[in-house]
Amino acid sequence: MPNTESAKKRVRQSVKRQALNQWRKRRVKNQVKSFLDALQSKDVSAAEAELRKVASVLDKVSSTSTMHRNTAARRKSRLARRLNALKSAPAA
């Protein structure tokens, strides 16, 4: 239990930041899930649209302290690789 005013303020700030970070991470998770659903249904055009949305959300989240920019880049790369695998599957 915080005793000083500054410690009480720090607790309030921590709670607020935690809620904001959780909201941002949940946005990323939901967007990735919709992309994976589009991949699962093998709908290339929908998957491309969802990948653009995922990349946008990841870029916005990585511009804050919630997620490092390299983490966002790695996730975008892995998702794009899965989309490219789907695109090249019928041709192979």
Structural domains of the chain ordered from first start? 5-91 (1.20.58.110)
pLDDT in tens, 51-77: 999 999 999 999 999 999 999 999 999
Q: State the pTM of this model.
A: 0.88
Per residue in 15-30, pLDDT (tens digit) is: 999 999 999 999 999 9
CA distances from 84 to 3, 6, 31, 73 (A): 56, 52, 18, 16
